[in-house]
Structure 1
Amino acid sequence: MTDLAAPLSAFMTRVAGPGTLSGLARLSGGANMESWAFDWGASSHRGAYVLRRAPSADYMADRPYGHADEAALVMAAHDAGVKAPKVVGVLADSDGMGTGYVMRRVIAEVNPAKIVPAPPPSLIADLGREMARIHAIPRAAIPAAIPLMDTGAALAELKARFLTYGGDRPAIALAIKWCEDHLPTPAEPVLVHGDYRMGNIMVDGDGLAVVLDWELAHRGDAHEDLAFGCMTVWRFGQLDKPAFGVGSIEEYFAAYEAAGGAPIDAARFRFWLVYRTLWWALGCLQMGQAWRSGADTTVERVVVGRRTAEQELDLIALLEEEAPAAERARALPPSPSAAPVPAGEPTNAEMVQAVRDWLASEIKPRSEGHGKFQVAVAMNALGIVMRDLGAGARAEDQALAAAMMAGATTLAEPGLLARMRRAALDKCAVDSPKYAALARARAAWGG
């Protein structure tokens, strides 16, 4: 089955009683941790479970708290009435499976592509209610290891990371400077889930079934949580429904406040919408760095690293109102000319196309589970390379980025916004051509 079968069976015998293990399979996706579904119990009474784990301590080295504290937090949320998973046991070193915990598996839909086109009628109200419940968890119930976020220090850390990654993306520099200029005063801290969005919730016929993935939880500003699920990237194509891709901001806020959430501050919400988009842009760059350093050599890392282009496009769309009206109305410059295709031997792009076609026709149909997901990611990577070869689409400009972070250059400079729009459109067309916001930006910007 896998090398997990024997130690997992021993663990489940200890925490859940005698039984047999069956159906052990790795779940698709999961940007950082592994998730394994399995059944356990006697033949007459079996239960569905999920093991969430990091295979080694190295995976947890840069995290503020470990899986034991994460599991304790999930249990506290469950006990407080939040639709959180029910934890049944936490791995020990002696279990030989890395770090992690086992929870009851909820049988429901998690794929945003299947949820957002026709969500349950109650879903936006459910999302607001559960958000309010999370924020109401008493401080005394929150494990001491869960950190308090200092927004100014966190922003400074993002800026330092950006410089480490080259400091050469003007759209990111623009966002850093804007956040520095609009840093809100500290808020009364609440428990912030930190990753509350489509993809981390499960839905059944009755609405929201469970809230997953608590690894980024911390104490901080409630508006951070409220804004995160409203980012463009987490609407999964439903751009006309800015709250999670399933409803309006007004519906979401009303449900949150009706469930006991504090009144919303619009300016604070906007800050966090920009901040979290910036945060994810740098998160994508970090994925590429993780691959380059050898810390994580999966193909998924390099592909996610190229999704930075989506967030740069979104940051420009969020912040372009800072430019004068004349600059917002300025026509875009032309895209760089693509290299001509020679008629002789196959080009690099054609060679990549041949490999991609072979994966699609020969390998993907024979793959299953996480393996099939990995083949799809590899095909996506080759597609990016094909589009990039000869396209001339670049977004790096270290001197401009430095000037923008210093405040020496702003969107009032004639032609700057138009050039940044063009660079963002061209780069996103290479890296994420199906990103819904790309078509919207082209229509809005005349690109």
Structure 2
Amino acid sequence: MEIKELKPLIENHLTKVWNSSVKIEDIHHLSGGACQDNYSIKLQLGEGSSFSEKNIVLRTDKGASLLSSLSKRDEFKVAELAYKAGVKTPEPIYLEENRSIIGSPFYLMEKISGRATGRYIIKDAELNEYRKSGMVPDLAGNLARLHTVRPESVLDEELKQKLKITNPKVYVDDSISDLRKSLDELPEAHPAIEISLNWMEKNKPEVDSIVLVHGDFRTGNFMITKEGLQGILDYEFAHWGDRHEDVAWLCMRDWRFGKLNKEVGGFGDRPDFYRAYANVSKVEIDPKKVRFWEIMGNLRWAIGSAQQAERHLSGKDKGIELAAIGRRTAEMEWEAMRLIEEAENAV
């Protein structure tokens, strides 16, 4: 939808919802990736002596989303859980599930400062001091706080089920089974993924406990300034799972943006991150479990990349970005098999 069409729809709807005059002073499109659309909005609330301004972000779906992504309702509810758990994340403000307002469900959240691009976080000189002393402990500590959210602490039964409530004893089996199902739904064969899944079935780790997993915790999904971490974003792939999944995802080669020697997101070292996480969570990170979930993460991303390409090829949601992401599948396949070889040689 064009911004000139979107503006009056949002103004009229929020005026009714908040029972107060709402005028949009500025609205512009933000980069939202292949699945999401984000809009920065500056609002004028009320009139006369009660006048105030508010900067927010409207988040909604762009065309077809990945099969594993949450609905806007569930993503909003997860963001609320994270915010209440003390995670530094934008405050969730308002959820609209009625798709007739702007054509799809959406929610509003606090607008925070900072930048999330890999080049800025990994290479920009103004972050040199923060990279040395604060970035790793800040991110590790916030991830540990997110992982304090457990199924038994969530009262919203519908949300608990949507996050795929599970038992630690079967979680790894279920995760492998889900990947096989997604792989079978692709129109072409991927032998490297099949081989990797076979290895994973023979090398399954135990899961210590089930926690709320971000699902896409990586460089690019947190906002940072030279003053430090401003907030963690994008809970669309959140689910109940193993804490090692999030740690492994952040450590994946693909999220280092060329800074391969810094295995934590291109900016940190694994021992430092593991130690900072344990300082807050009082739970030690198991490097072998991280490697297992890193292999799993590469397979998930390989299949996800292929799914993105299929969105383009099928004509459901054509776009050069989707086609380009599809070309990355082979890279993840190669990395998964490299990690398996590394694990075998370590035995």
Category of TM-score, reference length = shorter chain: 0.7 to 0.9
Match of residue 83, structure 2, among 74, 78, 82: 78
**1:180 and 2:180 correspond:** no
Match of residue 46, structure 1, among 49, 53, 57: 53
Q: Deviations over 1:382-426 (max 9, x none)?
A: xxxxxxxxxxxxxxxxxxxxxxxxxxxxxxxxxxxxxxxxxxxxx
Structure number with larger C-alpha Rg: 1
Cα offset for 1:110?
A: 1.2
TM-score by length of 2: 0.85
Cα offset for 1:141?
A: 3.4
**1:251 and 2:268 correspond:** no
**1:122 and 2:134 correspond:** yes
Match of residue 233, structure 2, among 187, 192, 212: 212
Label 1:64 to 1:204 Cα distance change in 2 as closer, same or farther (>3 A): closer
Cα offset for 1:293?
A: 2.3
**1:148 and 2:165 correspond:** yes
**How far apart are the structure 2 equivalents of 1:135 and 1:171?**
32
Residue type of the partner of 2:36? M
Structure 1 vs Structure 2 CA RMSD: 2.4
Label 1:322 to 1:209 Cα distance change in 2 as closer, same or farther (>3 A): closer
Tell whether the 8 Å contact from 1:55 to 1:99 is kept in structure 2 after alignment.
no
Q: Deviations over 1:306-325 (max 9, x none)?
A: 11122123223212336789
**How far apart are the structure 2 equivalents of 1:206 and 1:249?**
23
Aligned sequence identity (%): 29
Which segment drifts farther, 264-273 or 142-151? 142-151
Match of residue 2, structure 1, among 4, 7, 20: 4
- Flag structure 2 segments of 5+ consecutive residues without an equivalent: none
Q: Deviations over 1:186-238 (max 9, x none)?
A: 43101111111111000022211101000111111111111110000011111
Label 1:311 to 1:98 Cα distance change in 2 as closer, same or farther (>3 A): same
Secondary structure, in 3 states, of the residue corresponding to 2:42? strand
Tell whether the 8 Å contact from 1:91 to 1:100 is kept in structure 2 after alignment.
yes
Label 1:78 to 1:258 Cα distance change in 2 as closer, same or farther (>3 A): same
Residue type of the partner of 1:148? I
Cα offset for 1:159?
A: 2.1
Which segment drifts farther, 276-285 or 292-301? 292-301
Label 1:167 to 1:203 Cα distance change in 2 as closer, same or farther (>3 A): same
Tell whether the 8 Å contact from 2:12 to 2:22 is kept in structure 1 after alignment.
no
Q: Name the structure 2 match of 1:280.
A: 301
Tell whether the 8 Å contact from 1:189 to 1:222 is kept in structure 2 after alignment.
yes
Q: Which has the higher strand share?
A: 2
**1:30 and 2:33 correspond:** yes
Tell whether the 8 Å contact from 1:15 to 1:89 is kept in structure 2 after alignment.
no
**How far apart are the structure 1 equivalents of 2:213 and 2:344?**
33
Superposed, 1:288-303 pairs within 5 Å as 288-303=309-324
**How far apart are the structure 2 equivalents of 1:131 and 1:125?**
10
Residue type of the partner of 1:85? P
Superposed, 1:48-447 pairs within 5 Å as 48-54=55-61, 59=64, 62-63=67-68, 65-93=70-98, 95-118=101-124, 119=127, 120=130, 121-139=133-151, 140-141=153-154, 143-144=156-157, 145=159, 146-148=163-165, 150-165=171-186, 168-321=189-342
**How far apart are the structure 2 equivalents of 1:64 and 1:321?**
31
Tell whether the 8 Å contact from 1:69 to 1:143 is kept in structure 2 after alignment.
no
Cα offset for 1:76?
A: 2.0
Cα offset for 1:17?
A: 3.8
**How far apart are the structure 1 equivalents of 2:6 and 2:331?**
37
Secondary structure, in 3 states, of the residue corresponding to 1:49? strand
**How far apart are the structure 2 equivalents of 1:196 and 1:110?**
12
Secondary structure, in 3 states, of the residue corresponding to 2:251? coil
Tell whether the 8 Å contact from 1:194 to 1:216 is kept in structure 2 after alignment.
yes
How many pairs are equivalent? Answer: 323
TM-score by length of 1: 0.67
Secondary structure, in 3 states, of the residue corresponding to 1:259? helix
Label 1:143 to 1:307 Cα distance change in 2 as closer, same or farther (>3 A): farther
Residue type of the partner of 1:299? I
**How far apart are the structure 2 equivalents of 1:179 and 1:167?**
21
**How far apart are the structure 1 equivalents of 2:66 and 2:278?**
38
**How far apart are the structure 2 equivalents of 1:61 and 1:256?**
30
Q: Name the structure 2 match of 1:391.
A: none
Residue type of the partner of 1:225? D
Label 1:301 to 1:64 Cα distance change in 2 as closer, same or farther (>3 A): closer
**How far apart are the structure 1 equivalents of 2:39 and 2:58?**
5
Residue type of the partner of 2:233? L
- Flag structure 1 segments of 5+ consecutive residues without an equivalent: 326-447
